[in-house]
Structure 1
């Protein structure tokens, strides 16, 4: 029993020390109202996670990011299940606006992302809504597919909270349910897929040609589903970093007034 406790304690110390080393590497301490400094801090942590990952915090290398059993819904008609795949392009996002709103506890970020893509093994699942429309027509698909976004502008309003953990240390907490965003495609979107069938007839080429010829309408239709998936990845991994972030070491302002139970 004693040996187990020693091992657990040693592991905890290793993680904390490694986390501290990462934040020392970034070497930033900001006033809570200094958006320019906070942007540099945010960009430093994001770059570390994107390029190298932070394995001691359980944060994988974000670009490329592995996807498993993720679902994208299109108009409630068709679900696309990504059994195994990757998302690439997080590292190609460049910030052109950053503002920390201390009143609403939200960060407003504007990004331009280029060459973002999702690819891998997929399966089409027709929903009851579409079945009610098409009747006995058998639409199915299972193969390789991809969506490549050439250029997109994202305006994020990332909500967060300030809390104290069980040790009385102040931490930031992501609030994904209160986070909102808008997006605009600045260049075309390319689709590719094989093994799409109506009955026994392969309609892959016809389907992808239609999608690519009408990419602007299609992208607006399903774009939010893809971006929602990307934000799940971002929120999950951002919270892992924030759980270990020594706020007192990177923020010079006393955040006690902002703490909510």
Structure 2
């Protein structure tokens, strides 16, 4: 889910693309709150629509496939087709770019992120088989996850390049983004989970919700990893089309690296 924060970076710049028709006040690269507010506006105005001219998919909802996590010893929960909703309402209270260190840092806060999808459930675990009253844990169903008060601190490698048109552009560098995240509350709603001919949806929902704290790490980190795959592509498409002069007040010529 996704989420987790190149979404903000990318979407914000989409706003800059549309700013040709609807001008807005540029931000100083040193004014982290100004930049954050602009990105919040982008989430609200562009998050659910995307940008066809730049071949940008919407960020809310964000769709994914084959999202698998281990929820207990020997048991895997695999969401085959899923979607994450809620990114367009996220806040960015802190944002900064340190061009000397080639590092972009942002703090992202989302009140609620909702994940829905169809899943497969399977494996071997004596405790769960006893709890569910079945001799098999292979099944499938539908899931709704709700994460509340999601906070993510994200560090991304970034630089400034000059293109053939003579303008300077941001570019996200190759490398592994560094991030930390926290989720204050999580809820699970399982439907139509049939295992061994029995519908164990209610029991499974209660088990997952009562054990949400350890499961947050299991679900949260791979979900963010999956979201970053999309968001890095998304952000670089924006950066490749929008000169920094269109949304940054300062002249970044001294930081051009090519």
- Give the match for residue 74 of structure 1: 70
What is the rounded CA distance, in whole Å, between the counterparts of 2:74 and 2:171 in structure 1?
Answer: 35
1:258 aligns with 2:255: yes
- 1:241 is displaced (CA, Å) by 1.6
User: What's the offset of the Cα at 1:259?
Assistant: 3.0
Cα distance per residue 1:48-72 (max 9 Å; x no partner)? 431442222122332223x142423
How far did 1:21 drift? 5.8
| Cα distance in 2 for residues equivalent to 1:77 and 1:55 | 44
Shift of 1:215: 1.2
| Alpha-carbon distance, 1:42 to partner | 3.7
1:230 aligns with 2:249: no
Query: What's 2:92 paired with?
Result: 95
Matches within 5 A, 1:1-261: 22-24=18-20, 25-65=22-62, 67-74=63-70, 80-124=77-121, 138-175=136-173, 177-186=175-184, 188-196=185-193, 198-261=195-258
Unaligned runs of 5+ in 2: 1-13, 129-134
Aligned to 1:8: none
Distance 1:33 1:221, change over 3 A: same
User: 2:142–2:193: 8 Å Cα contact kept in structure 1?
Assistant: no
Shifted more, 192-201 versus 94-103: the winner is 192-201
**CA 1:20–1:251 in structure 2 vs 1: closer, same or farther (change >3 Å)?**
closer
**Aligned-residue CA RMSD (Å):** 3.2
SS at match of 1:224: helix
Larger relative CO (CA 8 A, sep 6+): 1 or 2?
Answer: 2
Unpaired stretches in structure 1, ≥5 consecutive residues: 1-17
Q: What is the CA-CA distance between 1:174 and the residue it aligns to?
A: 2.2
Q: Deviations over 1:210-259 (max 9, x none)?
A: 11111122113321112222333332322222121122333343334333
State which structure, 1 or 2, has the greater radius of gyration over its C-alpha atoms.
1
Q: Which has the higher helix share?
A: 1
Q: TM-score, normalised by structure 2?
A: 0.75
Moved more, 104-113 or 160-169: 160-169
